[in-house]
Amino acid sequence: MEIIRTVEAMKQASRAAVAAGRITGLVPTMGALHEGHFSLVREARKRCSSVTATIFVNPTQFGPREDLEKYPRPFAADRDALEKMGVDYLFAPAAEEIYPRGFSTAVEVAGLSEKFEGRSRPLHFRGVTTVVLKLLEIMRPRLAFFGRKDAQQERIIRQMARDLNLDAEVVACPIVREDDGLALSSRNRYLVGEDRTSAAALHRSLQDARMRIESGERDSPRILQAVRGVLSSEPRVALDYAQIVDAGTFDPVDVLQPDCYILLAAIVGGTRLIDNALVEQVGNTFQVTV
């Protein structure tokens, strides 16, 4: 695996891979890698003949009171893991390489970026889309891999790719969870003791919704009331939002429809967690992936 620190060198390596007829894949991350990230790398390895992973803790997607400074950066362990998984290139630039002095451009997907995570974290998605567009232009991958754990982010990036006629195909990968159902996240390491145990309530509440939906419940307010009920039984979990939305527009729906998400965000012991379940119609029934 070659470690690349500069945009210019990364461009050259990517252009050479394309010229050599490789099917190129990109897995963007902020590091502190876990099985969720590895699942994206594995999928990329399966579908591509040249895989680039990036580790870049993108400052522009952090709010002023967020954890940019203390965000975990276990670079050596991340590098070793990616090397073992057969990644071809690890792009790990410094912040000044991506945002040199005088940098003044931003790209924003209007509408979608203002809802849910965007409302709770203003400018977050603008930071995400700006850096992802830069990475897509530096690497020009055939396929780019994102996790459904960040469903709104994946939807926004897909919209950006469509709106800007990007060549990359956005591939969405399933959520990877701990044994107790907690969705893997680099921020889970902030959860200790009872906070860690309580955090599993997010998944439990989605499982409760799944059971109700699979028993025929279609009414969003009733499903959400049950979800909130599960979460309110955990005093350490402070709910930010729980909503059922159309998977395309992220607008709330009163009655289940084909392809929606149950979205959750909560703060547990000072750590903000998000989770979701995908609801799809299969024949006459609804199938819930959580």
| Residues with catalytic roles | 37
Query: Do 76 and 93 touch, CB atoms closer than 8 A?
Result: no
The set of residues, in sequence order, having a beta carbon less than 8 Å from that of 172 and lying 6+ positions away, is 146, 147, 148, 154, 158
Quote the least distance from Cβ 131 to ligand AMP, whole Å.
10
Selected range binding ligand AMP among 100-108, 118-126, 176-184, 211-219, rule: CB under 6 A: 176-184
Quote the least distance from Cβ 179 to ligand AMP, whole Å.
13
Selected range binding ligand AMP among 10-18, 175-183, 189-197, 216-224, rule: CB under 6 A: 175-183
Quote the least distance from Cβ 215 to ligand AMP, whole Å.
27
DSSP classification of residue 150: G
Strand partners for 241: 265
Number of residues that bind ligand AMP (CB under 6 A): 17
User: What part of residues 3-42 is at the interface with ligand AMP (CB under 6 A)?
Assistant: 29-30, 36-37, 39-40
Q: Which is nearer to ligand AMP, 10 or 256 (CB)?
A: 10
Token digits for 218? 């279609």
Quote the least distance from Cβ 63 to ligand AMP, whole Å.
15
Computed from CA positions of residues 4, 8, 10, 12, in that sequence, does the dihedral angle turn out positive or negative? negative
Q: Which is nearer to ligand AMP, 20 or 95 (CB)?
A: 95
Query: Do 136 and 145 touch, CB atoms closer than 8 A?
Result: no
Q: Which is nearer to ligand AMP, 30 or 224 (CB)?
A: 30
Would you list the DSSP string of 236-272? TEEEEEEEEEETTT--B-SB--SSEEEEEEEEETTEE
Cα–Cα distance, 281 to 82 (Å, whole number):
36
Cα–Cα distance, 202 to 205 (Å, whole number):
5
Burial of 262: CB neighbours in 10 Å, binned 0-12, 13-18, 19+ = buried
Q: Which is nearer to ligand AMP, 43 or 256 (CB)?
A: 43
Q: Does 176 bind ligand AMP (CB under 6 A)?
A: yes
Residue nearest ligand AMP, CB atom distance: 147
Show the binding pattern over residues 129-158: x = contacts ligand AMP (CB under 6 A), - = does not: -----------------xx-xx--------
Q: What is the contact surface with ligand AMP in residues (CB under 6 A)?
A: 29-30, 36-37, 39-40, 146-147, 149-150, 173, 175-176, 183-186
